Amino acid sequence: MKTIHSYWAYIVLAVLIFTVVNAIIGLTQKKEFTHKEFRLGLFTLITSHIQLLIGLGWYFMSPWYKALKANGGEVMKEPTARLLAVEHPLTMIIAIALITIGWSKHKKQVKSEAKFKTFVIFYGLALVLILARIPWNNWF
């Protein structure tokens, strides 16, 4: 499960980066929001939600969750354990919530500029959070 979670993360990160960069380009160059952008945003939403489900499955089987349940105080004192047991999961849930909110808000927008701006803000914030809390030492 951990391996799937790690490999799927590459897909999510690549798609999210591509979506944010595409939205920035669309916003700055005043492009028309087309079916391509719609599908890209939806694909980002779907891949991130799949990652969330895989991650939650792995989390509740992980040694970090077991350690947190057994002795939360000790886990919170150790930065690496705290990252894996608390910070990473909570931050990723927040990031995926931002992607979901961005997707929902963009559908209510009429103008292309507003749609791109919504993606830039919400998907962009999600990207920043994800990059901030990836356990890089464990990932490579």
Q: Is 45 exposed, middle or buried (0-12, 13-18, 19+ CB in 10 A)?
A: buried
Give the span between the Cα atoms of 105 and 24, in whole angstroms. Answer: 17
Angle 42-43-46 (CA atoms, 0-180°, nearest 5)?
85
pLDDT band, residue 139 (cuts 50/70/90) = low
Helix (H, G, I), strand (E, B) or coil at 134: coil
DSSP 121: I
pLDDT digits (tens, 9 = 90+) for 84-117: 999 999 999 999 999 999 999 999 999 999 999 9
What is the chain's mean pLDDT, rounded? 94
- Better pLDDT: 1 or 70: 70
**Cβ partners under 8 Å of residue 134, min gap 6:** 9, 88
Task: Enumerate helices (H) and strands (E) in the chain, giving the number of each.
Answer: 9, 0
DSSP 30: T
Q: Is 77 exposed, middle or buried (0-12, 13-18, 19+ CB in 10 A)?
A: exposed
pLDDT value of position 23 = 97
pLDDT digits (tens, 9 = 90+) for 25-54: 999 999 999 999 999 999 999 999 999 999
pLDDT value of position 1 = 82
Q: Which two tokens stand for residue 139?
A: 């990932």
